[in-house]
């Protein structure tokens, strides 16, 4: 497989993942809001959050694989999970590894939710609020070709969506 | 504070170390004036020494079997067979023992009086229960009215090196639901007097994750006597199906409101007479507790005060409360006040209780105030709240309201047209204090 | 035989369960689930398991009852 194809798939999948994980984040944050718009299904939003997250994780495999296999840049397998272990653009890739670590922890605890118990699962799930910014900053520094207008639109659109969801959540926070 | 009374009509034996023949068994034979707790010496001279000092495991299994033969059931309201609970906890590792003297029920005083008059009987029972399940210590959670006396009695025993088991006494929380078994555990562990989800059962995982025995203090007192005098003695009063004696609080429109010890199955009218008899013509009785049931007074006086005797009236002995409602009081208004109190006292953890009880209370207040109310909606909400919650609190409130609608049918009609004319306030409802 | 049980202390009335299994779960006037005490018919067991999984508070349980 030519280096260019791997490069495109890696960057393309990265962009798709940014959109995907942003949607997952928005759906997850929205689940905690007090009410849903009329006609919207709480169950549907919840299931979508879960299904989309799992799909993105699978897609993430493709993103990481094509980036590692690309002979043009040297990243190394270790850098997928060890932040700042990549010889090529250590910080940018490192942020991606951080997102994988944090997101991976959220994933594993969610799959074992029943055994873990609600309180422990919920505590770990908060890491999602760290995983998304790490993934976002990774995509801006390591990936996004901000000279392309629609890439810029997508990137900042995702940021705006997540920021809006966070704001809505903060504003709807009722004292216990 | 009510005082304890001597059972009338039965021969009163002088204190002796022989098995007490008649009632009272738990309360002092001759209540001292002014009221004070029985000292360790008088306790030992009346009942004899504590049953076992260094029991072996087989002795404990035999003792649990004896408790089973005696047919002792919990005196906290649930009436669960005590021997079964003991056996379940004894089967676990490193169990814990808690004596429950919280008595969150405002109108009930039996546990307070027992702890204040016969603290050593309660402590005997706690120590014995700990030995029976293999625990190295016991905690008694006591209502603050009896806390000092119980604490001093425990200290007296420590000085006399009486017990193999360490007993500590702690203050109970001042909430209605604080007396629920899992709420007591959570109060001790985290300072939160609210029930926890079950499963797991407390006998499997309770205090600190260990198998935990939670027993009402009156049950512990009976335990202390069964260990001394045996099952047959215990069964010599009461009914075959519900043996033994029980403490009851008689309050409301009686001449001498008090805490009494009666044989289970004593006719309700006789119990009222033991409290001096009605102070006014009676309309209804509240039996069991604020989560109990109203019954028509005329129908109830001939019935035995036991689970079997009261079942036909839709009531239970519960926590041994009998409140007499005079004809001059309005049962609906009383119920409305109590249900509002129960709604305020919800732990607030479960939706049906947190939202349903205040809704029921509001509707009931409308009924009591003679304002237009939707009885159909009230009954619908009762159906929605019943049996749905983390503890029995909402179900208890539903039982109370349903019994009120049944018993005060005449008033319901009168209230629909305005008022029934009843004015007196009989049931004590604590005003909301700082939390 | 299997029965659905709600842990009302964990439940926060989000209502996903009533959407997932309307045959057996309805909501009361305050949004909390009313679950029939009857055993779950075997044809609904897969749906019941999915409903249990979908509760965000882990407040729903499917209990095996051997009676």
Q: Round to whole Å and give the CA distance between A9 and A60.
A: 11
Q: Give the residue from chain A lying closest to C31, CA to CA.
A: A35
Q: Which residues of B342-379 are buried (b: 16+ CB within 10 A; e: fewer)?
A: bbbbbbebbbbbbbbbbbbbbbbbbbbebeebeeeebe
Strand partners for C35: C25
pLDDT of the residue at B55:
59
pLDDT of residue A2: 77
What's the pTM value of the predicted model, to 2 decimals? 0.89
Segment A52-57 mean pLDDT: 94
Residue C40: domain span: 2-64
- Specify the number of domains making up chain B: 3
Domain with A53, as residue range(s), is 3-171
Which CATH number do you get for residue B359? 1.20.1440.230
Q: Could you tell me if residue B46 is inside a domain?
A: yes
**ipTM confidence score:** 0.93
Find the farthest-apart pair of alpha carbons in chain B and give their distance in angstroms, rounded.
69
Query: For the segment B211-232, what is each residue's pLDDT rounded down to a tens digit?
Result: 999 999 999 999 999 999 999 9
CATH code for the domain of C19:
3.30.70.20
Q: Of A42, B195, B350, which is closest to residue C33 (Cα–Cα)?
A: B350
The pLDDT tens digits for B51-63 are 765 556 668 888 9
Touching partners of A (3+ C-beta pairs < 8 Å): C
Residue of B nearest to C13 (CA): B351
Query: Residue B251 has what pLDDT?
Result: 96
Confidence of residue B154 (pLDDT cuts 50, 70, 90): very high
pLDDT of residue B52: 63
Q: Are residues B262 and B362 both part of a single domain?
A: no
Q: Cis peptide leading into C13, omega within 30 of 0?
A: no
Among residues B191, B214, B234, which one ends one of the domains?
Answer: B234
Task: Specify the pLDDT at position B276.
Answer: 95
Contact between A43 and C58 using a beta-carbon 8 Å cutoff = no
- Minimum-distance CB partner of C28 among B196, B349, B352: B352
Chain mean pLDDT for chain A: 88
Please tell me whether residues B199 and B282 are part of one structural domain.
no
In angstroms, rounded to a whole number, what is the distance separating the alpha carbons of residues B179 and A133?
A: 48
The boundaries of the domain holding residue B348 are 331-416
Would you state the pLDDT for residue B18?
A: 53
In this structure, is residue B435 part of a structural domain? no
C6 touches chain B (CB under 8 A): yes
The Cα–Cα gap between B40 and B111 comes to: 19
| Exposure of A107 in the CB half-sphere (CA atoms within 13 A) | 18
Tens digits of residue pLDDT in A164-173 = 999 988 888 7
- Give pLDDT, residue A144: 62
Q: How far is C25 from chain B (nearest CA, A)?
A: 13
DSSP A133-162: HHHHHHIIIII--TTSHHHHHHHHHHHHHH
Q: Which of C10, C15, C57 has its CB closest to that of A42? A: C15
Interface test with A, best of C16, C22, C55 (most A CBs within 10 A): C16
C-alpha gyration radius of chain B = 21
Most C CBs within 10 A among B180, B195, B388, B395, hence the mutation to make, goes to B388
**What is the tens place of the pLDDT at every residue in B26-72?**
999 888 888 889 999 999 999 988 876 555 666 888 899 999 999 99
Write down the number of H helices and E strands in chain B: 17, 10
CATH number at residue B42: 3.40.50.11540
Q: Read off the pLDDT of residues B275-311 as tens digits, 9 standing for 90 and up.
A: 999 999 999 999 999 999 999 999 999 999 999 999 9
Residue with tokens 């507790």: B289
pLDDT digits (tens, 9 = 90+) for B318-370: 999 999 999 989 999 999 999 999 999 999 999 999 999 999 999 999 999 88
**Residue B354: closest C-alpha in chain C:** C30
Predicted local confidence at residue B106, as pLDDT: 94
Reported confidence tier of residue C64, pLDDT bands at 50, 70, 90:
confident
> In this predicted structure, what is the pLDDT of residue B54?
53
Count of alpha carbons within 13 Å of B341, Cβ hemisphere only? Answer: 24
On the question of pLDDT at B431 being above 90, the answer is no
Say yes or no: B33 and B181 in one domain. Answer: yes
Total number of domains constituting chain A: 1
pLDDT of amino acid B56: 67
Q: Is A92 exposed, middle or buried (0-12, 13-18, 19+ CB in 10 A)?
A: middle
Q: Does C10 touch chain B (CB under 8 A)?
A: yes
Question: Rounded to an integer, what distance in angstroms lies between the CA atom of residue C42 and that of residue A69?
Answer: 49
Tell me the mean pLDDT in the region A3-11: 86
Alpha-carbon B97 to chain mean position: 18
pLDDT tens-digit readout, B229-254: 999 999 999 999 999 999 999 999 99
Task: Note the pLDDT of residue B13.
Answer: 30
Question: What is the DSSP annotation of B263-293?
Answer: ETT-BHHHHHHHTT-BSS-EEEEEESSTTSE
When CB atoms are compared, the residue of A44, A46, A114 closest to C56 is A46
Residue B129 shares a structural domain with residue B73:
yes
Picking from B234, B265, B281, the residue at the C-terminal end of a domain is B234
- pLDDT given for residue B433 in this prediction: 55
What pLDDT does A37 receive?
74
Where a domain ends, among B326, B355, B390? B326
Alpha carbons within 13 angstroms on the beta-carbon side of residue B357 total: 31
Residues of B in contact with C34 (CB under 8 A): 384, 388
pLDDT at B11 over 50: no
**B157-194 pLDDT, tens per residue?**
999 998 889 999 999 999 999 999 999 999 999 999 99
Contact B194, B183 (CB under 8 A): yes
| pLDDT exceeds 50 at position B16 | no
Domain-located, residue A29: yes
C56, C59, C60: best to mutate for the A interface, most A CBs within 10 A: C56
Angstrom distance (rounded) from CA A104 to CA A116: 16
Could you tell me the two tokens for B160?
């006399």
Q: What mean pLDDT is predicted for residues A38-47?
A: 87
Closest in A44, A46, A114 to C58, CB measured: A114
Q: Quick check: C10 contacting A, CB < 8 Å?
A: yes
Please name which of C52, C20, C58 lies closest in space to residue B197, comparing C-alpha atoms.
C58
Number of domains chain C is built from = 1
CB contact under 8 A, C15 and A47: no
Preceding peptide of B200 cis, ω within 30°: yes
Same domain, B275 and B345: no
């Amino acid at each position: 497989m030519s280096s260019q194809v791997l490069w495109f798939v890696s960057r393309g999948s990265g962009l798709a993942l940014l959109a995907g994980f942003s949607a997952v984040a928005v759906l997850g944050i929205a689940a905690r809001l007090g009410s849903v718009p009329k006609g919207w299904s709480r169950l549907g939003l919840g299931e979508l959050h879960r299904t989309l997250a799992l799909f993105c994780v699978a897609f993430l495999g493709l993103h990481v694989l094509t980036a590692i296999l690309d002979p043009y840049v040297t990243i190394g397998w270790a850098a997928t999970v060890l932040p700042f272990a990549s010889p090529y653009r250590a910080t940018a890739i490192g942020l991606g590894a951080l997102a994988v670590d944090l997101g991976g922890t959220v994933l594993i605890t969610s799959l074992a939710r029943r055994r873990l118990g609600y309180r422990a699962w919920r505590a770990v799930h908060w890491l999602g609020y760290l995983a998304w910014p790490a993934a976002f900053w990774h995509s801006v520094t390591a990936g996004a070709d901000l000279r392309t207008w629609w890439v810029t639109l997508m990137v900042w659109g995702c940021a705006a969506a997540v920021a809006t969801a966070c704001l809505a959540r903060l504003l709807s926070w009722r004292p216990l | 504070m009510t005082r304890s009374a001597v059972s009338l009509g039965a021969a009163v034996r002088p204190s002796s170390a022989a098995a007490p023949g008649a009632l009272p068994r738990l309360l002092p034979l001759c209540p001292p004036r002014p009221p004070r707790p029985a000292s360790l010496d008088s306790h030992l001279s009346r009942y004899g020494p504590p049953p076992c000092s260094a029991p072996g495991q087989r002795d404990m299994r035999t003792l649990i079997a004896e408790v089973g033969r005696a047919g002792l059931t919990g005196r906290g309201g649930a009436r669960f067979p005590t021997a079964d609970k003991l056996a379940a906890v004894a089967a676990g590792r490193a169990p814990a023992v808690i004596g429950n003297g919280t008595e969150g029920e405002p109108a009930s005083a039996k546990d307070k009086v027992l702890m204040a008059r016969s603290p050593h009987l309660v402590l005997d029972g706690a120590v014995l229960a700990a030995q029976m399940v293999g625990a190295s210590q016991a905690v008694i959670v006591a209502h603050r009215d009896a806390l000092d006396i119980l604490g001093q009695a425990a200290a007296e025993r420590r000085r006399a090196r009486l017990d193999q088991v360490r007993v500590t006494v702690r203050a109970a929380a001042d909430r209605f639901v604080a007396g629920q078994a899992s709420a007591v555990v959570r109060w001790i562990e985290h300072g939160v007097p609210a029930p926890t989800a079950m499963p797991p059962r407390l006998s499997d995982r309770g205090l600190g994750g260990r198998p935990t025995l939670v027993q009402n203090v009156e049950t512990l007192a009976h335990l202390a006597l069964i260990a001394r005098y045996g099952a047959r003695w215990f069964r010599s009063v009461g009914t075959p199906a519900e043996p033994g004696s029980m403490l009851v609080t008689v309050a409301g429109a009686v001449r001498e409101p008090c805490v009494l010890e009666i044989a289970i199955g004593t006719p309700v009218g006789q119990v009222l007479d033991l409290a001096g008899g009605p102070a006014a013509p009676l309309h209804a009785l509240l039996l069991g507790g604020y989560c109990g049931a109203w019954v028509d007074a005329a129908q109830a006086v001939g019935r035995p005060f036991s689970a079997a005797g009261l079942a036909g009236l839709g009531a239970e002995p519960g926590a041994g409360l009998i409140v007499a409602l005079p004809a001059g009081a309005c049962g609906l208004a009383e119920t409305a006040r109590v249900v509002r109190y129960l709604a305020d006292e919800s732990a607030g953890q479960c939706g049906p209780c947190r939202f349903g009880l205040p809704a029921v209370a509001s509707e009931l207040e409308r009924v009591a105030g003679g304002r237009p109310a939707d009885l159909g909606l009230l009954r619908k909400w009762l159906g929605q709240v019943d049996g749905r919650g983390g503890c029995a609190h909402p179900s208890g409130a539903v039982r109370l309201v349903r019994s009120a609608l049944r018993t005060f049918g005449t008033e319901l009609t009168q209230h629909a047209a305005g008022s029934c004319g009843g004015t007196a306030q009989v049931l004590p409802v604590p005003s909301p204090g700082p939390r | 035989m299997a029965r659905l049980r709600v842990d009302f202390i964990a439940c926060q009335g989000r209502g996903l369960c009533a959407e997932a299994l309307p045959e057996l779960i309805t909501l009361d006037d305050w949004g909390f689930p009313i679950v029939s005490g009857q055993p779950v018919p075997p044809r609904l067991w897969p749906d019941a398991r999915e409903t249990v999984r979908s509760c965000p508070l882990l407040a729903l349980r499917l209990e095996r009852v051997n009676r």
